[in-house]
Amino acid sequence: MIHTLYIKQHNQTFLKYLGYTSRDPYRYKGSGKYWKRHLKTHGNNVDTYIIGTYETKEKLKEAGIYYSHIWNVVESNEWANFKPEEGDGGFTFINTNNLKSHPFIDLTKQRFGNWTVLFRLPNNHNRKTMWSCQCDCGNIYEVIGESLTSNKSLQCRICQVRQPRSQYRYRKTK
């Protein structure tokens, strides 16, 4: 039996999915839960790219793990994979012990603007890393890690409202 390792890429959103099949890879849509939900929402307008064909599951698994690691398919937002492609057909529950996790930067106790990072939270529905942060005023919020590191979020909403506006205001001229 021939096993095909492929990439599916959505032509409108450009989201990618690394998968394998023993069927016709151009007709097979993929079986990942996140990928199938994405297709249901955005349509089946996808391109298929064949990475390789393998006669044994062992060779397929080796190639799948290699490309999963090279392209960081689990952690990257460009990919719809929840786990490395190992040719095992996926899983019905997420067991984090079996995942090849990629190192992340621990932001605990670091400061970003008025935020002090307390601890990491589970990822949100968009697979973004979430952190529990305390503002200098004492309020605690859930903040996306990317917003902290890119300085998009520097304080809580209450402090933003309290902050005086610029001294230069637009005046109506006669």
84-125: per-residue pLDDT in tens? 888 776 554 444 444 444 456 788 899 999 999 999 888 888
Other C-beta atoms within 10 Å of 29: how many? 15
For residue 116, what pLDDT is reported? 94
Structure tokens given for 83: 């786990």
- Could you say which of 67, 83, 101 is where a domain stops? 101
Res 78 pLDDT > 50: yes
For residues 43 and 35, the answer to whether their CB atoms sit within 8 Å is no
- Is 106 part of any domain? no
CA distance 155 to 116: 10
Residue 146 one-letter amino acid: E
Overall average pLDDT of the 126-142 stretch? 90
C-beta atoms surrounding 39 within 10 Å? 20
CA–CA dist 38, 36 (Å, integer): 5
DSSP state of 164: P
- Is residue 58 one of the residues assigned to a domain? yes
Q: 167 in a domain, yes or no?
A: no
φ, ψ (nearest 5 deg) of residue 25: -65, -20
| Mean pLDDT, the chain, integer | 83
**The last residue of a domain, from among 101, 128, 153:** 101
If one compares 61 and 99, the residue with the highest pLDDT of the two is: 61
* Residues 6 or more apart whose Cβ sits within 8 Å of residue 83: 74, 90, 91, 94, 98, 99
Phi first, then psi: give them for residue 66, nearest 5 degrees.
Answer: -60, -55
How many structural domains are present in the chain?
2
Domain span including residue 5: 1-101
Output the pLDDT for position 104.
62
Residues with Cβ within 8 Å of residue 38, at least 6 apart in sequence: 10, 13, 15, 80
**Domain annotation covers residue 150:** yes
d(CA 36, CA 85): 16
Q: Is 98 left (phi over 0), alpha (psi -120 to 50) or beta?
A: alpha
